[in-house]
């Protein structure tokens, strides 16, 4: 098979995504965040809006590798493995939302979240991969994105793509009630809502489809050429859809957003294969390998540790806030201090993940 072996670039790409996830989630102050490290308020796409869809695309890449290594399993076994993984990841996300349990009543618990979105997008994509013939994967993925678009457009009478009246919000409110939904947009609306999972399935499936297509290709050059063409096509389709009625939008995870971000991740994936796998320039990548080999544990640790540190009060404020206000902001200014705080926290989580790596502990769902 020559060059047709496990790609280092997938682990590195996953680790880079986790590192960026932690950085954008834990600034020293939410008031002082550089523009590229903020989400777009609604339509549009910033570098921060690329992090989550990139991770889901990489889930698809990894799923293709996993299914190949479990080729001897029958469909029922593969489905049970996927279901178990889904329940574990969803459960970890739910527990992180609930922590610390003593001051969060269940009737105010947010049900969805990042890990929950990952688990559901993975599960439905796994079902497609297991039960649908491979030559139907791409048409079915496109069909899901089109069906999602039609549901949004025709599912409500007015303002189908606005914050207040989109169908994602309507369904979540009807199923869960506003107490179990994210409130960060000023109204109850969950950017990881149930219906918008349809859009995120696109990212996982595009990653899976791409990985399956490049597996038989013998040389890195052929893999890179195919990936670049795939990426350019998806970017073009996403931009076209953006300008013809379905704006690139993370909160509702529009089909144009799924295509555009999957295309960009494809381009980055091609670059990583060239640098890491073809040229072997990999020494710089070790910190990301550590994160990438324990992605779930690293992300869960980041959510847990920041909450625990914030529970350590000095006066009225938690320890991270005090450290930012008293040390980092006076030292480097409010914006750079906020970024330094995120980088230091990311380094702390990396040290924890490195400890697991050194001990050979790799936590898989």
Each residue of 13-51: pLDDT tens digit? Answer: 999 999 999 999 999 999 999 999 999 999 999 999 999
How many domains is the chain partitioned into structurally?
1
Contact between 237 and 259 under an 8 Å Cβ cutoff? The reply is yes
Secondary structure in 3-state letters for 35-67: HHHCCCCCECCCHHHHHHHHHHHHHHHHHHHHH
Specify the pLDDT at position 66.
84
Strands 313-314 and 317-318: antiparallel
Q: How much of the chain exceeds pLDDT 70, in percent?
A: 97
Residue 47's nearest CA partner among 252, 265, 275 is 265
Q: How much of the chain exceeds pLDDT 90, in percent?
A: 88
CB atoms within 10 A of CB 53: 29
Task: Name residues whose C-beta falls within 8 Å of residue 280's C-beta, 6 or more positions apart in sequence.
Answer: none
Decide if 121 is inside a domain. yes
Specify the pLDDT at position 15.
96
Decide if 282 is inside a domain. yes
Show the DSSP H helices in the chain as ranges.
8-25, 51-69, 75-98, 114-131, 137-154, 167-176, 197-214, 220-242, 255-272, 286-293, 295-311, 319-323, 329-332, 334-358
C-alpha count within 13 angstroms, C-beta hemisphere, residue 212: 20
Q: Which residue has the tokens 């038989």?
A: 216
**Rounded to an integer, what distance in angstroms lies between the CA atom of residue 200 and that of residue 252?**
10
Confidence of residue 101 (pLDDT cuts 50, 70, 90): confident
Decide if 2 is inside a domain. no
Average pLDDT over the chain reads 94
C-alpha count within 13 angstroms, C-beta hemisphere, residue 260: 23
Specify the pLDDT at position 244.
96
pLDDT at 4 over 60: no
Using the Cα atoms of residue 220, residue 51, residue 83 and residue 359 in order, give the sign of their dihedral: positive
Mean predicted confidence (pLDDT) in 187-204: 97
Each residue of 220-252: pLDDT tens digit? Answer: 999 999 999 999 999 999 999 999 999 999 999
The region that residue 182 occupies, defined by phi over 0 for left and psi between -120 and 50 for alpha, beta otherwise, is beta
**Rounded to an integer, what distance in angstroms lies between the CA atom of residue 310 and that of residue 253?**
31
Task: Name residues whose C-beta falls within 8 Å of residue 40's C-beta, 6 or more positions apart in sequence.
Answer: 46, 49, 249, 250
Specify the pLDDT at position 1.
33
Specify the pLDDT at position 70.
67
Decide if 3 is inside a domain. no
Specify the pLDDT at position 105.
87
**Rounded to an integer, what distance in angstroms lies between the CA atom of residue 304 and that of residue 291?**
16
Decide if 365 is inside a domain. no
The angle formed by the CA atoms of residues 132, 138 and 139, to the nearest 5 degrees, is 85
pLDDT at 107 over 90: no
Decide if 89 is inside a domain. yes
Decide if 363 is inside a domain. no
Each residue of 130-175: pLDDT tens digit? Answer: 999 999 999 999 999 999 999 999 999 999 999 999 999 999 999 9
pLDDT at 76 over 50: yes
pLDDT at 2 over 60: no
Domain that holds residue 351: 8-358
Decide if 338 is inside a domain. yes
């Amino acid at each position: 098979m020559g060059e047709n072996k496990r790609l280092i670039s997938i682990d590195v790409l996953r680790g880079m995504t986790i590192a960026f996830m932690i950085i954008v989630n834990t600034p020293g102050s939410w008031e002082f965040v550089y523009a590229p490290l903020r989400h777009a308020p609604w339509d549009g796409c910033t570098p921060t809006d690329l992090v989550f869809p990139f991770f889901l695309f990489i889930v698809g890449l990894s799923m293709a590798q996993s299914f190949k290594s479990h080729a001897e399993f029958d469909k029922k076994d593969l489905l049970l493995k996927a279901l178990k993984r889904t329940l574990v990841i969803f459960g970890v996300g739910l527990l992180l939302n609930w922590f610390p349990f003593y001051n969060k009543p269940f009737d105010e618990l947010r049900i969805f979240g990042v890990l929950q979105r990952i688990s559901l997008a993975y599960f439905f994509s796994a079902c497609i991969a297991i039960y649908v013939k491979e030559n139907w994967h791409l048409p079915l993925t496109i069909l899901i994105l089109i069906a999602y678009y039609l549901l949004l457009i025709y599912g409500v009478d007015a303002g189908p793509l606005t914050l207040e009246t989109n169908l994602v919000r309507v369904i979540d409110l009807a199923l869960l009630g506003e107490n179990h939904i994210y409130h960060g947009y000023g109204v109850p609306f969950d950017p990881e809502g149930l219906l918008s999972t349809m859009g995120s399935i696109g990212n996982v499936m595009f990653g899976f489809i791409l990985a399956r297509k490049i597996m038989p290709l013998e040389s890195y050059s052929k893999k890179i050429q195919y990936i670049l063409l795939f990426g350019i096509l998806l970017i073009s389709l996403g931009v076209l859809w953006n300008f013809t009625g379905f704006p690139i939008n993370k909160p509702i995870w529009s089909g144009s957003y799924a295509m555009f971000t999957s295309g960009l991740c494809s381009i980055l994936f091609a670059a990583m294969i060239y640098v890491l796998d073809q040229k072997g320039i990999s020494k710089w990548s070790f910190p990301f390998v550590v994160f990438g080999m324990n992605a779930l544990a690293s992300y869960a640790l980041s959510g847990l540790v920041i909450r625990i540190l914030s529970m350590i009060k000095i006066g009225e404020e938690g320890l991270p806030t005090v450290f930012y206000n008293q040390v980092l902001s006076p030292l480097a200014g409010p914006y750079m201090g906020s970024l330094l705080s995120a980088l230091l926290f990311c380094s702390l989580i990396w040290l924890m993940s490195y400890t697991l790596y050194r001990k050979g502990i790799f936590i898989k769902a």
